[in-house]
């Protein structure tokens, strides 16, 4: 998990997934996943696999910015050290999935709206129920 930098325009300081990004023109989906892992976490990743194909959310932050996105969700392994970009990530932590699910359920206000909306789908996915 990462905690969004306090300087982020939307949802500053909330805990969220490891990193987010969008594909550029002509990019295959694995390319932006690898690129954003390096840009946000300073990390090399391996074994990328899609776990939610058509996740979609709409959320309005405290500054009235609206996000309305379709975001496939991926899972990967980190291969080496993590050196986050401070403009993106204020903090990070390894968290067991069940502990995170409990925290999201009890304190959803501390997390990004997209991770809160993803959890019902993620908890049903076999990649997460076996960990």
pLDDT in tens, 94-118: 999 889 989 999 999 999 999 999 9
Residue with tokens 């696999």: 49
Is 28 part of the annotated catalytic residue set? Answer: no
| pTM score above 0.95 | no
Q: Hey, which bits of 53-130 come out as E strands? A: 56-60, 66-70, 73-78, 89-92
Q: Which of 20, 30, 67, 71 is catalytic?
A: 20
Q: Which of 28, 69, 71, 117 is catalytic?
A: 69
Residue with tokens 């690129």: 35
pLDDT category of residue 126 using cuts at 50, 70 and 90:
low
For the range 68-76, what are the long-range contacts, defined as Cβ-Cβ under 8 Å and sequence gap of 24 or more? 69/114, 71/20, 71/114, 72/29, 73/17, 73/118, 73/122, 74/29, 74/33, 74/48, 74/49, 74/50, 75/48, 75/49, 75/50, 75/51, 75/127, 76/33, 76/37, 76/45, 76/46, 76/47, 76/48, 76/49
pLDDT cut 70: percent of the chain above it: 95
Is 40 part of the annotated catalytic residue set? Answer: no
């Amino acid at each position: 998990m990462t905690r969004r930098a306090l300087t982020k325009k939307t949802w500053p300081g909330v805990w969220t997934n490891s990193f987010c990004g969008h594909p550029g023109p002509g990019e295959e989906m694995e390319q932006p996943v690898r690129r954003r892992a390096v840009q946000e976490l300073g990390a090399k990743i391996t074994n990328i696999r899609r776990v939610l194909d058509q996740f979609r959310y709409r959320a309005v932050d405290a500054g009235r910015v609206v996000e309305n996105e379709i975001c496939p969700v991926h899972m990967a392994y980190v291969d080496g050290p993590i050196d986050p970009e401070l403009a993106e990530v204020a903090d990070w932590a390894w968290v067991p999935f069940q502990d995170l699910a409990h925290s999201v359920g009890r304190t959803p206000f501390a997390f990004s709206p997209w991770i809160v909306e993803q959890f019902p789908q993620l908890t049903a996915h076999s990649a997460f129920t076996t960990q």
